[in-house]
Amino acid sequence: MSASVTFSTIKTASNHLFGLAVLNNPDALNALTLQMIDLLDPQLKAWAEDDAIAGVVLSATGDKAFCAGGDVVSLHHACKRVGAGHVPPEAATFFEHEYRLDYRIHTYPKPVLCWAHGIVMGGGVGLMVGASHRVVSPNARIAMPEVHIGLYPDVGGSWFLQRMPKRMGLFMGLTGAIVNAGDALLGQLADHVIAHEHYNDVLTAIAETEWAGNELANRELLSALLNRFSTEAPLGLLEQHAETIEAIVQTDSLEEISKGLHQLAKHSDPWLARAGQSFVHGSPTSAMLAFELPKILAGASVADVLRLEYQAALGCCAHPDFSEGVRALLVDKDKSPKWNPGTLNEVSRQTIEDIVKPRFDGSHPLADLA
């Protein structure tokens, strides 16, 4: 049986090495499992401490997807085992280790090239956004679709969605809308658009480059290298519909935004209509979290964002919507979740406070993140 993440090194013209980490779970669209996380994180740590390593490439096997998200089906089964109101230890471990990995990428002391081709969703976006050099393919399909499964835009989403212009990130979080490579550039989720067929060419160029002995110079060298292969991005879907989206999300009232998104579900444009319908059929609790957490965390550091998101993720596991959402979408696949509460008006402040409260003894499991 092949490893779920493979590791190798690329020898370069300067005798430096580039680490190459490849997600290798293509049958599941490289969905991120705890095993994959626990392979990646220590290897990245080792490469960070190795003076021979000039940088790292993170990519994935297969042509369809970089990473379609976290392995939420396993978490669903664990949540069902312990019952509503409780957090299975597997969930506490998964989210702690996943967020530690994301934070390591955000703070990595060497250039990290994330080659995020095809489908990039949820936990896959979390891996991508913290890298110093983020490549998406022209056919990229990018989303934070947690509203469909009773979760919320985590893996730092409360931070990086806020950085998108004109509250486009809020629209993505509330609707789970699938956006494209142009949107990724506009929203500061990616830096370059390069056709996936040039992947091996880029690796060859890395091997042929004389890398320097310091991070700043190597970052500049890698940016110049990627510019040689970059292509024009498609017009962003968010950009095309910016006026319509901004008219809906510019208010600070989620009730008003909800009315606008309900109307959007009837729009003549199929993409806008799908976005509106996704909100209408999504978890009301997820929508409230997607709206409230960025407000709570406005101006917070990535570390502080991940600490509160960890609490919210465990709270979602204790809340019935997460198991129900995963059941309906990915287990039974009937696509008919029964959300509890069933409407946005029924989601109380106490519900949100209960979800984000600490569910651990002693210090925060992510207290050591700087």
Question: Among all residues, which ones are annotated catalytic?
Answer: 70, 123, 146, 154
- Do 110 and 92 form a contact (C-beta atoms < 8 A)? no
The CA distance from 358 to 157, in Å, is: 19
First vs last Cα of the chain: how many Å apart?
38
Both tokens assigned to 363: 């210090």
Mention every residue, 6+ apart, whose C-beta is less than 8 A from residue 168.
183, 186, 187, 238, 242, 245
In 3D space, the residue among 259, 320, 294 whose CA is nearest the CA of residue 76 turns out to be 320
- Report CA-CA distances (Å) from 370 to 16, 103, 216, 221, 310: 29, 10, 21, 28, 15
The CA distance from 188 to 206, in Å, is: 24
Taken in order 27, 33, 37, 38, the sign of the CA dihedral is negative
DSSP 8-state class, residue 29: T
- Do 13 and 42 form a contact (C-beta atoms < 8 A)? no
